[in-house]
Amino acid sequence: MTTLALMHDDNTANDPQRRAPLVIGPQTDETVTDSVCRVTEEVRTPRAWFVALVVSAALTAVFFGTIGYLITTGIGVLGNNRPVMWAFPIVNFVFWIGIGHAGTLISAILFLFRQQWRTAINRSAEAMTIFAVICALIFPGIHMGRIWVAYWMAPYPNQMALWPNFRSPLMWDVFAVNTYFLVSAMFWYLGMIPDLATLRDRATSRLRHSIYGLLALGWNGSARQWQVYERAYLLLAALATPLVVSVHSVVSTDFAVAQLPGWHTTIFPPYFVAGAIFSGFAMVVTLMVPARAYFGLKHLVTLRHLDNVNKIMLATSCIVAYSYAIELFIAWYSGHSHERFVHLNRAFGPYAWTYWLMVACNVLLPQLFWLKRCRTTPWIMFLIALAVNVGMWLERFVIIVVSLSRDYLPANWAMYYPTLIDVLMLLGSFGLFFTLFLLFCRYLPMVAIWEVKHVLPREEVNHGRTRA
């Protein structure tokens, strides 16, 4: 199949007179179904996939091992200490929640914007979203220390007359993130039902047939089902859209409602949302560049898709840069000595290297995406995306840890250093994330088959439209 594509594998040219094809080569319904389903139907375990899975699973074991150690020993195994009471766990939480923003943006907002190129990448981006939110949800949970009372966060009538404090943004977080998780999981699963039915219908073994059959919920592809289905999909997209904005806005209020310079500034909500989308798209590139090559999906996830993703990264990088700049300007303009200090401390204090590395990764390197060559060369975008992942993690470190380490009272200042457990937990969370993603690639339809069929070039001819 991929050999067909090799003839014209570049669909990135821009001709205002016609829209570029979103698949490469003469694709039909059958070839699309085949190339996606084949990945899950291959009987022999792909070797590189298996090696990657073993490594990730090992890291996952480290993750849960360190969590066990933390719960049995106490929060003192982490580097958190006065005045830096929020450190790696919250940095990791915000980092993973941010990653989890690309999926819903692609599936909901780009859907409402009629961006048809989303069809080839939405499924994997949504999966990534859910796995990232799982990683994110773990961190505040274990950061509480007494994990066995986590259920106190739920508002339920009880004999202790305890009720969550709804004036606390931490409580808003619980609801925002859980809602987000539920809605994205629903959206992901709903979108997958027709494709699960395809897998069911193609199954050759009884076991596959019953598992995919169970998951497909009796889908038979009747016109009536499609009619109801597409309406439900549109409604869910509309419901998910405000969530894309609200979740990270609420996360930003964890910091911005405080009075701490470096945390309290009004641009935080939109700035956090832009940063989240930025990091989420970086993760999409990090995952899809290897996956499309390894699983033979280059003709569906084309260079044009990656080109567009990289443009969104460039745009969000510029928004993030705008926020950095406005924060700096207003810190000076305010004439407020503490506001001014916190920015000087970021740039020239003991953690200056994190700040400058962050600026390099988030602002300077993505500017390479102005060049089409960088937007359409897989290895270049892969390296830039990796740098953005690093940069966006550092951004949260700079905001959270560096601001806390030097607040109003110099007598209260102290440096923060992570412990080995902190570092292992961060690595371990990547293990969990990659384990889940690798399992997804092998056992579920990685590309939305039914949606890609909608954007095959023949569709336009069928509608009798001429694109002048």
Partner 1 sequence: MSNTTGAEKQTLLPATTAGAAAALLVVGLAGMACAAALEYGRGDQWRYFLHSYLVNFCFFTSLSLGALFFVLLQHVARAGWSVTVRRLAELLAANVVVMLVLFVPLAASVLAGQGTLYPWAAPHTAAADHAIEQKQAYLNPTFFVVRSVGYLVVWWLTARYLLRLSLRQDESHDAALTLSMERFSPLALILLVVTLTFASFDWLMSLWPHWWSTIFGVYYLAGAAVGFVALLIIFTVLLERAGPLTDQVTAEHYHDLGKLLLAGVAFWGYVAFSQYLLIWYANIPEETAWYQPRHGGPWGWMSLGLLAGHLALPLVGLLSRWPKRNRLSLTFWAVWLLVMHWIDLYWSVMPAYDPHQPPWALSDAFCLVGMGGVYLGALIWRCRGRSLVPLGDPRRQEALDFENY
List interacting residues with partner 1 (CB under 8 A): 14-17, 19, 112, 114, 230, 234, 242, 245, 249, 253, 256-259, 264-270, 318, 322-323, 326-327, 330, 333-336, 465-468
Query: Which residue from 397, 402, 396 is spatially nearest to 414, judged by alpha carbons?
Result: 402
State in angstroms the smallest separation of the CB of 333 from partner 1: 6
Looking at the Cβ atoms of 18 and 44, the one nearer to partner 1 is: 18
Please state the closest distance from residue 87 (CB atom) to partner 1, in A. 22
Q: Which is nearer to partner 1, 39 or 247 (CB)?
A: 247
Nearer to partner 1, 206 or 465 (CB): 465
Q: What are phi and psi of 283, to 5 degrees?
A: -70, -35
Shortest Å, Cβ 234 to partner 1: 8
Q: What share of the chain is helix, strand, coil (3-state, %, to 5)?
A: 75, 0, 25
Q: Which is closer to partner 1, CB of 163 or CB of 329?
A: 329
Distance CA 8, CA 31 (A): 17
Of the two residues 28 and 227, which places its CB atom closer to partner 1 in the complex? Answer: 227
- Residue 296 CB, nearest approach to partner 1 (Å): 29
The distance of closest approach from Cβ of residue 3 to partner 1 in the complex, given in angstroms and rounded to an integer, is: 31
Q: 48 or 468: whose CB is closer to partner 1?
A: 468
Q: Tell me the three state secondary structure of residue 81.
A: strand
State in angstroms the smallest separation of the CB of 113 from partner 1. Answer: 8
Question: Which of 184, 51, 10 is CA-nearest to residue 108?
Answer: 184
The Cβ of residue 266 has, within 10 Å, a number of other Cβ atoms equal to 9
Of 408, 455, 406, 451, nearest to 193 by C-alpha is 451
Closer CB to partner 1, 244 or 284, in the complex: 244
Helices within 295-365 (DSSP H only): 303-334, 337-348, 352-359
Residues 6+ apart with CB under 8 A from 118: 106, 107, 110, 111
Whichever of 42 and 459 has its CB closer to partner 1, that residue is 459
Is residue 249 within 8 A of residue 269, CB to CB? The reply is yes
DSSP state of 83: T
Q: Which of 279, 203, 272 is nearest to 433 (CA)?
A: 279
Compute how many other C-beta atoms are within 10 angstroms of the C-beta atom of residue 376.
17
